[in-house]
Amino acid sequence: GENVEQHPSTLSVQEGDSAVIKCTYSDSASNYFPWYKQELGKRPQLIIDIRSNVGEKKDQRIAVTLNKTAKHFSLHITETQPEDSAVYFCAASPSTTSGTYKYIFGTGTRLKVLA
Amino acid sequence: SQTIHQWPATLVQPVGSPLSLECTVEGTSNPNLYWYRQAAGRGLQLLFYSVGIGQISSEVPQNLSASRPQDRQFILSSKKLLLSDSGFYLCATLRGYNEQFFGPGTRLTVL
């Protein structure tokens, strides 16, 4: 079945450094790739997304890149700050049928930014 | 704008007891609705989704069930809870282009 692999599972960086999280997906029909941030005890929240007709998207300190040929996409956080510490999830949305818009989530990356 | 309500916020239940978690959505009509479970320190597991009243699709076989008695109400139930049912239960809908928008969640502890 569809699968999304996410690496690394944990990541520690010094404040001000960059962080990169990578995901690969299996369903070549996937066309939407969001990233979610989940702070401790709270709900996941969308931070950035990319559609399959775009190779890169940037929003201030965060950016996402997509390589459809290789079926992988990455989250880049620059100038990390302590408040970036959280669990990050990638997801892929396979081709929709009957408007279900099912997501396949990665297993998450726990990012710790050290002050 | 859409709002998702979930209750209760936290719940402690003994093994073998029944369960009923409720989710209601405001600010939209005929939404796609989803139930996810997140075990402690783990990822998001899709349990059920619904595209309309009375339409439920199950993703993972287990002792849980879901129902959608009204357009914007989604209920997760169990007749007998297991220890492995402990976790953070999240209701979700779609927002905007294709954003999976999550509710505040219910933290369930089965003892």
Whether A44 and B51 lie within 8 Å, measured CB to CB: no
Q: What is the mean pLDDT of chain A?
A: 92
pLDDT value for B18? 97
The answer to whether A51 and A114 are in contact (CB under 8 A) is no
The Cα of A50 is separated from the nearest Cα of chain B by a number of Å equal to: 11
Range of lowest pLDDT (A7-11, A86-90, A94-98, A109-113) = A94-98
Question: Does the beta carbon of A2 lie under 8 angstroms from any beta carbon of chain B?
Answer: no
The Cα of A70 is separated from the nearest Cα of chain B by a number of Å equal to: 23
Backbone angles phi, psi at A56, to 5 degrees: -155, 145
Mean pLDDT score, A10-19: 98
Q: How, if at all, do strands A56-59 and B19-26 pair?
A: unpaired
The tens digit of pLDDT for each residue in A38-73 reads 999 999 999 999 988 889 999 999 999 999 999 999
The tens digit of pLDDT for each residue in A23-42 reads 999 988 888 999 999 999 99
pLDDT value for A54? 83
Question: Does the beta carbon of B90 lie under 8 angstroms from any beta carbon of chain A?
Answer: yes
| Whether pLDDT at A101 is above 80 | no
Q: Would you place residue A98 in the very low, low, confident or very high pLDDT band (cuts 50, 70, 90)?
A: low
pLDDT value for B13? 97
Degrees to nearest 5, angle at CA A74 with A24 and A85? 115
| Whether pLDDT at A108 is above 60 | yes
Q: Would you place residue A95 in the very low, low, confident or very high pLDDT band (cuts 50, 70, 90)?
A: low
pLDDT value for A28? 86
Burial class (CB in 10 A: 0-12, 13-18, 19+), A60: exposed
pLDDT value for A102? 81
Low-confidence spans in chain B with pLDDT less than 70 = 61
Q: Would you place residue A96 in the very low, low, confident or very high pLDDT band (cuts 50, 70, 90)?
A: low
Whether A43 and B49 lie within 8 Å, measured CB to CB: no
Question: Does the beta carbon of A43 lie under 8 angstroms from any beta carbon of chain B?
Answer: yes
Whether B103 and A43 lie within 8 Å, measured CB to CB: yes
Which residues 53-72 of B are in CB contact (within 8 Å) with A? 57
Whether A34 and B51 lie within 8 Å, measured CB to CB: no
Nearest to B98 among A32, A36, A89 (CB): A32
Q: What is the DSSP string of A49-92?
A: EEETT-SEEEETTEEEEEETTTTEEEEEE-S--GGG-EEEEEEE
Question: Does the beta carbon of B98 lie under 8 angstroms from any beta carbon of chain A?
Answer: yes
Q: Would you place residue A114 in the very low, low, confident or very high pLDDT band (cuts 50, 70, 90)?
A: very high
